[in-house]
Amino acid sequence: MPIYYYWGDDEFAIASSVQILRDRTVDSNWASFNYTQHLCDTPDAVTEALNQAMTPPFGSGSRLVWLVNTTIGQQCPDDLLVQLKRTLPVIPETSVLLLTSRNKPDGRLKSTALWKEYAEIKEFALIPPWETKQLVQQVEKIAQEVGVKLSSSSTTLIAQSVGNNTRQLYNELTKLRLYAGDSQAPISIDIVNNLVQATSQTSLDLVKVIAEGNTAQALTLVGQLLNRNEPGLKIVATLVGQFRTWLWVKIMTAQERDKKVIAQAAEIGNPNRVYFLQQEVKSLSTEQLVATLPLLLELEVSLKQGGEEEALLQTKVIQLSQIFL
Q: What is the pLDDT of residues 12-30, one digit of tens each?
A: 999 999 999 999 999 999 9
Share of the chain above pLDDT 70, in %: 97
Determine the pLDDT at residue 309.
92
The predicted pLDDT at position 226 comes to 87
DSSP secondary structure code for residue 269 in this structure: S
Instruction: Inform me whether the pLDDT recorded for 200 exceeds 60.
Output: no
**Helix residue ranges, H only, 26-121:** 31-34, 45-53, 78-87, 110-118
For residue 1, pLDDT over 60 is answered with no
202/134: higher pLDDT: 134
Rounded Cα–Cα distance for residues 239 and 320 (Å): 10
**pLDDT for residue 314:** 94
| pLDDT tens for each residue of 170-184 | 999 999 999 988 888
Average pLDDT over residues 189-204: 78
CB within 8 A of 7, min separation 6: which ones?
73, 100, 101, 102, 103, 104, 105, 121, 122, 123, 124
Query: According to the model, what pLDDT value does residue 93 have?
Result: 92
What's the confidence (pLDDT) of residue 34? Answer: 93
**Nearest-angstrom CA–CA distance, 37 and 24:** 17
Q: Does residue 43 surpass a pLDDT of 70?
A: no
Confidence band for 318, pLDDT divided at 50, 70 and 90: very high
Give the pLDDT confidence of 241-254 residue by residue, as tens digits. 889 999 999 998 88
pLDDT on residue 198: 67
The mean of the pLDDT values for the chain is 89
286-296 pLDDT tens trace: 999 999 999 99
Tell whether the model's pLDDT for residue 116 goes beyond 90.
yes
What pLDDT, on the 0 to 100 scale, is given for residue 172? 92
The pLDDT assigned to 41 comes to 63
Total Cβ atoms within 10 A of residue 197: 11
Domains with residue ranges and CATH for the chain: 3-123 (3.40.50.300), 132-195 (1.10.8.60), 203-323 (1.20.272.10)
The mean-pLDDT minimum among 72-76, 161-165, 168-172, 249-253 falls in: 161-165
Q: What is the pLDDT of residues 136-158, one digit of tens each?
A: 999 999 999 999 999 999 998 89
Kindly list the distances between the CA atom of residue 25 and the CA atoms of 36, 64, 120, in Å, as whole numbers in the listed order.
Answer: 13, 7, 16
Share of the chain above pLDDT 90, in %: 54
